[in-house]
């Protein structure tokens, strides 16, 4: 008879596969500039469409960061995308594609705008935005829940973010991306991430990140999670793990990380339903049917822009 432990393990693996195969980029925040507008049938819009098509197709090849320009003179359009440092090429491509479409809906006819998803940042402008550190405009996102011991949490959070900034600016080969987790209380941990666009210098990255850290007390003191989103950098900390961990593959053939999973999306989607049915029937025979739903721990909680 199949052991209960094996069924639990197999269920977890297959659920992860099914969730990963259906994952979509998650929109978080956007800012539309009031600097100027364009008309739908203008040359600027035509350059805009051409540029976005190019960026989306290049996202898989260039992965984390890419910049491009289309057009000339007053109709010239500049664009940048920055995918999270742990994003696979497929995740990056999907996010760039989604963000370039979403920004048209949220900022129609604006000549400059920026949008953030969980997986990437996308911005465009009618002025050059390459290799220039910009820390405005920016936004805050925060978890509505507070820690019960804000004093202890503040000390640990400040130490975590300081270590992350130092790590990100210590070596440009890291892509100015750093992640870290630290113990908080008992089994509780705090998880953090910082990232700069790799077209700016290490010193400018340092300025941008430290400026972002300094904003936390103004918006999000004591909160269980927060983000500061700027054009040239972003920081984030949470009470749950959110960074994509890539495990070492064991000797037997298996799926080791999300990059492998995304390459199998089509077959996974076809099989998810039949796997769920089979597992449900097997589990009922082994342990009885439990209708208790999950409590959602580990999932991102709603964020509130301020």
Specify the pLDDT at position 192.
Answer: 98
User: Would you say the CATH fold of 139-238 matches that of 1-130+265-288+295-306?
Assistant: yes
Specify the pLDDT at position 131.
Answer: 97
Q: CA–CA separation, 169 vs 175, rounded Å?
A: 9
The tens digit of pLDDT for each residue in 49-64 reads 998 878 877 787 777 9
Specify the pLDDT at position 246.
Answer: 58
- Taking the model in full, what pTM does it have? 0.74
For domain 1-130+265-288+295-306, the question of CATH label 3.40.50.300 is answered with: no
Q: CA–CA separation, 225 vs 29, rounded Å?
A: 16
- Using a 10 angstrom Cβ sphere, with 0-12 exposed, 13-18 middle and 19 or more buried, the burial of residue 27 is middle
The residue among 175, 82, 89 whose CA lies nearest residue 121 is 82
Specify the pLDDT at position 75.
Answer: 96
The tens digit of pLDDT for each residue in 116-151 reads 999 999 999 999 999 999 999 999 999 999 999 999
Specify the pLDDT at position 55.
Answer: 86
CA angle 253, 256, 262 (to 5 degrees): 105
Specify the pLDDT at position 261.
Answer: 28
Specify the pLDDT at position 266.
Answer: 31
Regions of the chain where pLDDT drops below 70: 1-22, 246-306
CATH of range 139-238; options 2.60.40.1930, 3.20.20.140, 3.30.420.40, 3.30.430.20: 3.30.430.20
Residue ranges of the domains in the chain?
1-130+265-288+295-306, 139-238
Helix or strand or coil: residue 171? coil
What letter does residue 149 receive in the DSSP assignment?
Answer: -
Specify the pLDDT at position 244.
Answer: 83
Specify the pLDDT at position 22.
Answer: 52
Order across the sheet with 77-83: list the strands.
27-32, 113-117, 120-125, 77-83, 65-70
């Amino acid at each position: 008879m199949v052991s209960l432990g094996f069924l639990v393990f197999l269920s977890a693996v297959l659920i992860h596969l099914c969730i990963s195969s259906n994952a979509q980029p998650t929109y978080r925040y956007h800012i539309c500039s009031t600097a100027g507008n364009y008309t739908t049938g203008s040359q600027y819009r035509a350059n805009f469409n051409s540029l976005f098509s190019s960026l989306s197709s290049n996202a898989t090849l260039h992965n984390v960061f890419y910049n491009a320009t289309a057009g000339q003179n007053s109709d010239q359009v500049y664009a940048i995308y920055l995918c999270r440092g742990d994003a696979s090429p497929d995740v990056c491509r999907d996010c760039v594609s989604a963000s370039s479409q979403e920004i048209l809906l949220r900022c129609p006819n604006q000549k400059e705008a920026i949008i953030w998803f969980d997986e990437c940042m996308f911005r465009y402008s009618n002025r050059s935005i390459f290799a220039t550190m910009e820390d405005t405009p920016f936004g805050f996102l925060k978890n509505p829940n507070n820690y019960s011991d804000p004093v202890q949490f503040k000390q640990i959070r400040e130490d975590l973010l300081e270590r992350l900034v130092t790590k990100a600016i210590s070596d440009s080969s890291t892509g100015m991306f750093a992640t870290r987790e630290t113990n908080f209380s008992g089994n509780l941990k705090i998880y953090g991430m910082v990232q700069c666009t790799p077209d700016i210098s290490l010193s400018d990255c340092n300025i941008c990140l430290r400026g972002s850290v300094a904003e936390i007390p103004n918006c999000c003191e004591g909160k269980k999670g927060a983000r500061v989103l700027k054009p040239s950098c972003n920081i984030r900390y949470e009470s749950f793990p959110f960074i994509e961990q890539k495990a070492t593959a064991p000797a037997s053939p298996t799926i080791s990380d999300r990059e492998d999973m995304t390459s199998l999306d089509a077959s996974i989607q076809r099989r998810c339903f039949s796997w769920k049915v089979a597992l449900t029937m097997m589990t009922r025979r082994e342990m009885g049917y439990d209708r208790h739903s999950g409590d959602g721990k580990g999932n991102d909680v709603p964020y509130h822009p301020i």
